[in-house]
Chains A and B, each alone.
Chain A
């Protein structure tokens, strides 16, 4: 399934992610890692769960505001439900053990020039490239 190459929109989106990461550090002193923010909202709740919930609420609502203002957010999920659930559980185990995901390690940690985040980012990128190659070109699709 083809998707349109969108360099300008993707760059703009990336810059917005970077502005949000900068503001969360400058105002709240926090790393904008979705894994860490989410993990603090899973019982037992962390003591500072309120700002995490507020951040998540904003992240969920903003795309809806964008759509109601006439914006378009393409969405397609070319994955079966069992594969989605299996992949989701692996993502959960992996981000917990690895202490972060694309936003925490790939953006914030790399921007701090953290060797740990560089090692994690290189590892999960290679794993994702390899997984997609095997599923699509060795197994012939999931």
Chain B
């Protein structure tokens, strides 16, 4: 129970950060990518603030603790290969991000704001994830 409460609160800090930063606003995200047009450089500050804070926070965490407070161990990705799957996937994601103006982290905190379009986007993302997982599972 304590674990769920802390995950809920941490999710809340994340969602609040996304919303305040403007990441939940597709018009703002698309303007960041539109240097040749209505450019809005705000997202540099989002990425910069998040990256520097996480860099310092991770450092302190890994230096001071061998294990997380409420879990057996740190779950860190072990795959280090830079392959066609990673680059191809990232390129497809970036293309979709540039078309829709939403990424998963930006859209989920916007789900409660009362716009049907956010739910349509998330449904499409889930379709993409589940569909790819299904096709891949069949191919194996």
Contact = CB atoms under 8 A, between A and B. Distances in A.
Q: How large is the interface on B (under 10, 10 to 19, 20 to 34, 35 or more residues)?
A: 35 or more
A58 B17 CA distance: 12
B33 A51 contact: no
A137 B125 contact: no
Interface string A22-33: 111111111111
Given A16-B14, A78-B27, A97-B132, A91 B125 contact: yes
B40 A5 contact: yes
Given A20-B17, A27-B69, A95-B129, A103 B92 contact: no
Contacts of B76: 31, 112
B75 to A, nearest CB: 5
B31 A3 contact: yes
Contacts of B127: 88-89, 92
A126 B18 contact: no
A44 to B, nearest CB: 9
A42 B126 contact: yes
Nearest to B133: A96
Contacts of A10: 20-22, 42-43, 45-46, 49
Interface of B: 3-28, 30-31, 33-38, 40-43, 45-58, 60-61, 65, 67-77, 79-82, 85-106, 108-113, 115, 117, 120-133
Closest 8 CB pairs of A and B: A92-B128, A18-B53, A13-B21, A14-B49, A88-B124, A98-B89, A127-B94, A22-B57
